[in-house]
Structure 1
């Protein structure tokens, strides 16, 4: 691990905020690091309000999108709500179709088949719309690069409204409206919405036209919060407000489909981390293992008993997904070791039988193991399809763009992308990708980094401090769980390795004159020697709460230790 201490914030700003909020210096520093510098900004951070949401009509083409949908509703046109098969796509489709059905009965949904149609807008989907009399398609979480397909739809007199958040290319599709805050000429104040977030802004605009405010749309925010967590977009600004209220809906009054998933996992109160690692994988598993329609059916069901039956199926898809993911990861790791791929700047592996639905997860696992920009390929029809994952600070999207001569189609973000290419181009692409990454990556980016918010003493770790930190949630990119470093700490002699194969480390820590506090370091069992015999060491950790035998105590979740 490479430890990086974040730059100390401006002391004058820290002091002003400390006095305004009556908090200690560490809390004020953490806030200034997050660009919260005034009482008003802090108020809106700790107590977000739906009034903090931006006017949706600030988004380019929003007026055109609303006008086209209102015309479709008044003319009783058939509207097809189209979205990708992942969590962001299926939650977007559930959100948009549920809302539109409160305004018109002429609404249907369409999720492309991951294996037959692939990612995004498909010819098959447009033909389905044409055969069934749909004159308007609302595409969510996709479409920004579907220039030829949307032109094909236009020939069939089908209009498109695109709600996307991926980076546009040099040319935009000829749609009735293109909603994407990442367009250069879009002045929308917040650029980091997920696809479901863009969909929410559209229903917010439609609701405003009907004289309804954001409070009336609260019930849709369980879907938006799930998509924000799953798509790993920054939990800052508007996303933080949407996630904050969405989590409240998830925990207090979720839609039957989400309630049924929670009932299956038997967990009481969910954090955004639980949404990312427990709820989202189950929704995603439908599109990975079977078909994304199963997820939409679950998320739009109004009868809890039916939703509970669908949730059992979804749970099984997730179990199947886990089995496939584990097997393929083991095969990929063997391939890397055999080919000595770990000596390269990139990890690129391929097997024609690997399940296309889990290659993205496998790419993430390989990135965790070797910490290299990673691509996992499988056979998809007559092409090869891949999922790409990157390491902190490196833009894999730009690297793929530089290898464009070998790629048939690609799209995505800085840290995750998907692509297809012809099998005969695989070796040439693999070398080109290696060359591009080796030229452009900073070598330090190949060592996992842990960013430390602040050094503190153990004496600062109190229940009061922890309660304030808890209010920084929901955590995520742009607002990560605060990480601290403490030096000159010792184990009191109770340190030991625990868990299967003694993989984890449990210590009872003290610093001169402080109370003892327990620390748990997952996968740090091999560092036992550092803490043994009461030798002083330093640790990087977050603060957690532990409940045991009806007693609540604080504990340190240790990320790394050094002598």
Structure 2
């Protein structure tokens, strides 16, 4: 692990902010690092206000999108809400379809089959619309690259309104409206919305145009928060406001489906959404069909909702089993083919389950820390999921290999693609070449970015109470990471867990009486570093541990090393 301490912010700015807010210097430092230097900015950060959401009509084509939907309702046309099979797509479809159905009955939903149709807008979906007298498709979390498919739909008399957040290709589809803040010709002030976020802006615009109260939108915020967490978009600006209020809805009045997925969980955080709700919603599309997730998220009957949750739990168990097996097979393939020396990881097996190759790519990236692609067969072609390492744009790298690819799409750190089997080896070699030419070799060693150095005495109940208010955490506003030097174990250090892989101890620092319990998951092999009173430095985040009714602040280790 590389330990990288963030540059110290300007002390004059820090001290001035600490005075204005009545907080300690450690808190003020964290705020200044996040670009917060005034009382007003701090107020917006700690109290995100829905009134600070941007005017949806600032997004290019918004007026056209609203007019086309209102025309469809006026003319009693059939509308189809179309979305991808992942969390962002299914929450988007649940949001848009339930919002429209509340106002108008002729609304159908459509999620493409991951295996038969693949990612994004499909010809099969367009044919389904045309065959069922549907004249308007609202596509969410996909469509920005569907130039040929939108033209095909037009020939069949089917219009498109596209709500996407992925990067456009060289052209924009000839749809009635294309809402995508990443369009170069779109001047919307915030371009990091997820697909569900763009869908939310569209329903916000419809609500605004009809002079309906803003409260109408509140019940949809739990879906937006779920998509923001699952899609790993930055939790800054508008996303922070939407996630903050969405989590409030989840904790106070969640929809039946999300409530049944969470069970008895209280004080739900974005982490709970990411690790409890999102994998289960995803499992439906991975193992069965994404429509199961939409049904769960729009169901208002508690008993039926519980039944859907039980079914999805089965899909999730199957997903976990497939994920474990395929990860082991992929690791074996890398070792047998002696590929650890390469700068990239590219593996393929025609029998791997297409629904879990993205998860497997993430696992392999954790192990070898390289830009990674996992391929499997998909009909006549090969399909892959790509994952990257921090700081490297895998989408750009794929752009450099496009002569060997049929189609691809995605983000800086995650993408998907298809290619002909005959191009697999050509692509594999070209990808290695492109990465070798463009990657900074330092990026191939995992980095821990440290916000600030603390002494143990700085960690007070008040400090932690304010720290909790930095949430929701995510890209752009990660949970703060601290470093403390010269720690010693009080004598209780040991390995814990079923296979003794975790490190547990209690630490103190010279010149201070305070002690803190420490847990280091998967750091059991570092026990020798803390034995016999050796001094060590630790990098950690803070959380709470409740035991026998007592709640205490504990250090959650990320790494330790011998003090110099």
Pairwise same-fold verdict (TM > 0.5): yes
Residue 314 of structure 2: aligned partner: 316
Residue 250 of structure 1: aligned partner: 250
- d(CA) in 1 for partners of 2:376, 2:171: 30
Query: Could you list the per-position Cα deviations for residues 303-326 of structure 1 after superposition, in whole angstroms to 9, with x for gaps in the alignment?
Result: 111111001001110000000000
- d(CA) in 2 for partners of 1:189, 1:534: 54
Q: Please tell me whether the aligned partners of residues 165 and 181 of structure 1 are also in contact (alpha carbons under 8 angstroms).
A: yes
Secondary structure of 2:114's aligned partner: coil
Residues 40-439 of structure 1 aligned to structure 2 (within 5 Å)? 40-263=40-263, 266-439=264-437
For 1:462, which of 460, 464, 477 is the aligned residue? 460
Give the stretch that moved more between structures: 125-134 or 514-523. Answer: 514-523
For 1:489, which of 465, 482, 487 is the aligned residue? 487
Shift of 1:215: 2.5
- d(CA) in 2 for partners of 1:12, 1:216: 45
Residue 533 of structure 2: aligned partner: 534
- d(CA) in 1 for partners of 2:144, 2:365: 28
Shift of 1:532: 0.5
- d(CA) in 2 for partners of 1:490, 1:260: 44
Secondary structure of 1:135's aligned partner: strand
For 2:472, which of 463, 474, 480 is the aligned residue? 474
Shift of 1:118: 0.3
Shift of 1:270: 1.4
- d(CA) in 2 for partners of 1:78, 1:244: 35
Residue 554 of structure 2: aligned partner: 555
Q: Calculate the aligned-residue CA RMSD, in Å.
A: 0.7
Query: Could you list the per-position Cα deviations for residues 61-85 of structure 1 after superposition, in whole angstroms to 9, with x for gaps in the alignment?
Result: 0011001111111111110000000
Secondary structure of 1:220's aligned partner: helix
Secondary structure of 1:35's aligned partner: coil
- d(CA) in 2 for partners of 1:77, 1:6: 56
Query: Could you list the per-position Cα deviations for residues 528-563 of structure 1 after superposition, in whole angstroms to 9, with x for gaps in the alignment?
Result: 111110111100001111110011111100100011
- d(CA) in 2 for partners of 1:7, 1:133: 60
Q: Please tell me whether the aligned partners of residues 379 and 385 of structure 1 are also in contact (alpha carbons under 8 angstroms).
A: yes
Shift of 1:450: 0.4
- d(CA) in 2 for partners of 1:234, 1:101: 31
Residue 523 of structure 1: aligned partner: 522
Q: Please tell me whether the aligned partners of residues 50 and 215 of structure 1 are also in contact (alpha carbons under 8 angstroms).
A: no
Query: Could you list the per-position Cα deviations for residues 472-500 of structure 1 after superposition, in whole angstroms to 9, with x for gaps in the alignment?
Result: 00000000000000001111111111112
Give the stretch that moved more between structures: 537-546 or 8-17. Answer: 8-17
How many residues get paired?
561
Point out where structure 2 has 5 or more consecutive residues left out of the alignment. Answer: none
- d(CA) in 2 for partners of 1:516, 1:174: 64
Task: Write out the 4+ residue segments of structure 1 that deviate beyond 3 Å after TM superposition.
Answer: none
Shift of 1:19: 1.4
- d(CA) in 2 for partners of 1:15, 1:60: 42
Q: Please tell me whether the aligned partners of residues 204 and 213 of structure 1 are also in contact (alpha carbons under 8 angstroms).
A: no
- d(CA) in 1 for partners of 2:133, 2:99: 21
Secondary structure of 2:327's aligned partner: helix
- d(CA) in 2 for partners of 1:442, 1:214: 47
Query: Could you list the per-position Cα deviations for residues 164-211 of structure 1 after superposition, in whole angstroms to 9, with x for gaps in the alignment?
Result: 000001100000000000011111111100000000000000000111
- d(CA) in 2 for partners of 1:179, 1:213: 23
Shift of 1:16: 2.0
Residue 3 of structure 1: aligned partner: 3
Secondary structure of 1:43's aligned partner: helix
Give the stretch that moved more between structures: 325-334 or 11-20. Answer: 11-20
Q: Please tell me whether the aligned partners of residues 458 and 514 of structure 1 are also in contact (alpha carbons under 8 angstroms).
A: no
Query: Could you list the per-position Cα deviations for residues 343-401 of structure 1 after superposition, in whole angstroms to 9, with x for gaps in the alignment?
Result: 10000000000000000000000000000000000000010000000000000000001
Secondary structure of 1:128's aligned partner: helix
Point out where structure 1 has 5 or more consecutive residues left out of the alignment. Answer: none
Residue 26 of structure 1: aligned partner: 26
Secondary structure of 1:89's aligned partner: helix
Shift of 1:515: 1.2
Give the stretch that moved more between structures: 228-237 or 18-27. Answer: 18-27
Shift of 1:226: 0.3
- d(CA) in 1 for partners of 2:58, 2:12: 35
Secondary structure of 1:206's aligned partner: helix
Secondary structure of 2:499's aligned partner: helix
- d(CA) in 2 for partners of 1:270, 1:13: 34
Query: Could you list the per-position Cα deviations for residues 123-173 of structure 1 after superposition, in whole angstroms to 9, with x for gaps in the alignment?
Result: 000000000001100000000000000000000111100000000011000
Shift of 1:95: 0.1
- d(CA) in 1 for partners of 2:430, 2:249: 47
Shift of 1:18: 1.1
- d(CA) in 2 for partners of 1:214, 1:165: 24
Shift of 1:13: 1.9
- d(CA) in 2 for partners of 1:106, 1:165: 27
Secondary structure of 1:343's aligned partner: coil
- d(CA) in 2 for partners of 1:317, 1:454: 42
